[in-house]
């Protein structure tokens, strides 16, 4: 997935697209990632009811981080 994070102290988003994902930072509903193969969106809004089609969201609790969330997006292979 693309390398992206939000710096809580500076209130800044740092992101870059990769060979698999496009970063959509100017969406009114917030930060999104679009998979280049299946063109499905990964929704990173923690209050959204779902993380998107074929995507799971897992919160990891850690003393090191204020928030740590993993997103797993599965693409289907054409046969």
Report percent pLDDT > 90 for the chain: 47
- pLDDT tens profile 14-40: 788 889 999 888 888 888 999 999 999
Distance CA 71, CA 74 (A): 10
- Listed by start position, the domains of the chain span 3-73
Residue 58 has pLDDT above 90, yes or no: yes
The helix/strand/coil state of 16 is: strand
Distance CA 60, CA 15 (A): 21
Distance CA 30, CA 61 (A): 23
Residue 49 has pLDDT above 60, yes or no: yes
Distance CA 13, CA 77 (A): 32
Cα Dmax for the chain:
47
């Amino acid at each position: 997935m693309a390398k992206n994070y939000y710096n809580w102290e500076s209130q800044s988003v740092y992101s870059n697209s990769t060979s698999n994902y496009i970063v959509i930072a100017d969406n009114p509903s917030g930060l999104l990632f679009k998979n280049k193969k299946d063109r499905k969106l990964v929704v990173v809004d923690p209050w959204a009811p779902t993380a998107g089609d074929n995507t799971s969201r897992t919160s990891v609790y850690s003393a090191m981080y204020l928030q740590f969330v993993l997103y797993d997006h599965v693409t289907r292979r054409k046969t």
